[in-house]
Amino acid sequence: MKATAAVLNQANGPFSLEAVDVADPQAGEVRVAIKAVGICHSDLVIASGAMGLQFPAVLGHEGAGIVESVGAGVSSVKPGDKVLLTFNSCGACAPCGHHEPAYCNHFVPLNMLAVRADGSTRVTREGQPLADNFFGQSSFASLSIANERNVLKLDADADLAALAPLGCGVQTGAGGVLRSLAAKAGETLVVLGAGAVGLSALLGARIAGCSAIIVVEPQEGRRVLATQLGATHVLDGQGDVAAAVRGILPEGADMVLDTSGFMPVVQQSVNMIANRGRVGLLGVPGSLDAALSVPVLQLLTQGATVRGIVEGDSDPAVFLPELIAHHKAGRLPIETFSKTYRLDQINEAIADSHQGKCVKAVLIVD
């Protein structure tokens, strides 16, 4: 079937809007007419070629749309259903069996490499294959092939442009607080970075009932936005951030969640926490060999925890409906930091994100 896709032809190059063909869905697959798709930092990291992406490729992994057709065996959705797309998982390994699909043993090949195990593709350009299957969807396109496991049916009145970012960035930030760090009412939190993931973490902390929420962010506009969304304190990230945190919370914070990957501040995170404090790392650093120096004796005596986080420990079938309910109730107002663009404005949207003109870009597909 004919479609339009934003194709990336080379590492760090511009996206090019091009005509493509999208094959019929095979067993277990769902072909979705994409109506909205968020741009996530992970798209840009992979676009750099950092994970060995093969070009040309179609990226995009926060898709939302309407089911166009389904492959054999698909029973959870049907043509005409509104759906939200999220990360992929195998459903057969031990973590998936324990309802921890974010830690699927096959997460990297199923999501990050934009290839299928058999080497097949569903998207071609003038008869030549394009790398697709990014996060099991490659949704920077008017049509996308997803899998039943990473498709969630929505209500008929769902606002697809509003909900698209839930598929990755929002569930990662909110889940990092609500699921990974298991925030409790009255606890305190420091969020490093106020991008879409960091602001989602802030909203998750509000939902959890955290008593103090400190957001560390160098951009003034984002600090203002964080305050409007409920941060009790904001810091610009300059100088000794740990000392600044302890100036607000003398005993340290119960939790620190890094969404920035900015290692000079991340290195200070272990000095921000209280006894039994938890540090969660979900920001992607700029270097593949980035390392965190951990003072072992200090962590031993504090009983502290430092852990990595993928997708906010989300089990999408369970957590995404919870987030949708929070959004419907007004507790997750992600539209306050989202801005819509047309699909053919993808390069402008990325540039605006880099320049701080936009926190969360959502592409609208006609």
Predicted confidence at residue 84, as pLDDT, reads 98
In three-state secondary structure terms, 58 is strand
Predicted confidence at residue 215, as pLDDT, reads 98
Q: What are the start-end ranges of the E strands in the chain?
A: 2-8, 15-22, 29-38, 57-58, 63-70, 82-85, 123-125, 128-129, 143-147, 151-153, 188-192, 212-216, 233-235, 253-258, 273-281, 305-308, 338-342, 360-364
Summarize pLDDT for 198-214 with one digit per residue, the tens: 999 999 999 999 999 99
Predicted confidence at residue 310, as pLDDT, reads 98
Domain architecture of the chain: domains with CATH: 2-167+333-364 (3.90.180.10), 170-310 (3.40.50.720)
Predicted confidence at residue 316, as pLDDT, reads 98
Q: What are the start-end ranges of the E strands in 43-108?
A: 57-58, 63-70, 82-85
Summarize pLDDT for 166-180 with one digit per residue, the tens: 999 999 999 999 999
Predicted confidence at residue 327, as pLDDT, reads 98
Predicted confidence at residue 52, as pLDDT, reads 84
| Alpha-carbon torsion (137, 143, 145, 146), positive or negative | positive
Walk along the chain (366 residues) in steps of 10 and give the mean pLDDT of each run. 97 96 98 98 87 93 98 98 98 98 97 93 96 97 98 98 97 98 98 98 98 98 97 97 98 98 96 98 89 94 97 98 98 97 98 93 96
Predicted confidence at residue 142, as pLDDT, reads 98
**pTM (two decimals):** 0.96
